[in-house]
Amino acid sequence: TLVIETIRDRHPRPLLTLLDTIDAPCVRMSIDVGHVYIGHLLGGPTPDQWVHEAGPRLAHVHLQDTDGDLDRHWPPGMGEINWEAFFGALRTLPVQPRLIIELVDGTQLPRAAGWLTDQGLAR
């Protein structure tokens, strides 16, 4: 599967239109939660709304938190993202995407994984 990642996208529609144009089941969407959260602060949908709009075309997710000022790549739980809503949206999908914890500081990986587990978002 080839995934196209959200970078500076404010809305999912252009990327979904591109996927429709390509029309290949092996080409799907990757959501970077920090990127789409920044897009949300600029007037776009929330990260959980991105999941709902992407639906089964979502194959890959970069889990990283931010305060919305910069692309921080903080561990989930350190910023402003509503992770409960985001994971709630993921649970509605017919097939679960691959989840990648994407951090600037790799030493924070145990903290990130532990927080997701403690919140009941990951096992």
pLDDT tens digits, residue range 69-113? 999 999 999 999 999 999 999 999 999 999 999 999 999 999 999
Q: Which residue has the tokens 């990260």?
A: 47
CA distance 27 to 12: 15
Q: Cα-flanking dihedrals φ and ψ of residue 28, to 5°?
A: -140, -175
3-class DSSP assignment, residue 85: helix
Q: How many helices (H) and strands (E) does the chain have?
A: 5, 4
Strand order from edge to edge, sheet including 27-32? 2-5, 27-32, 58-63, 98-101
- The architecture of the domain spanning 2-118 is Alpha-Beta Barrel (3.20)
Half-sphere exposure of 49 (CA within 13 A, CB side): 12
CA distance 109 to 36: 21
Say if residue 1's pLDDT is above 90.
yes
Mean pLDDT for 24-48 is 98
Check residue 107 and give its pLDDT.
Answer: 97
Strands 27-32 and 2-5: parallel
Q: Where are the domains of the chain?
A: 2-118
Say if residue 14's pLDDT is above 90.
yes
Say if residue 123's pLDDT is above 90.
no
Contact 81, 47 (CB under 8 A): yes
Average pLDDT, the chain: 97
pLDDT-based confidence at 62, cuts 50/70/90?
Answer: very high
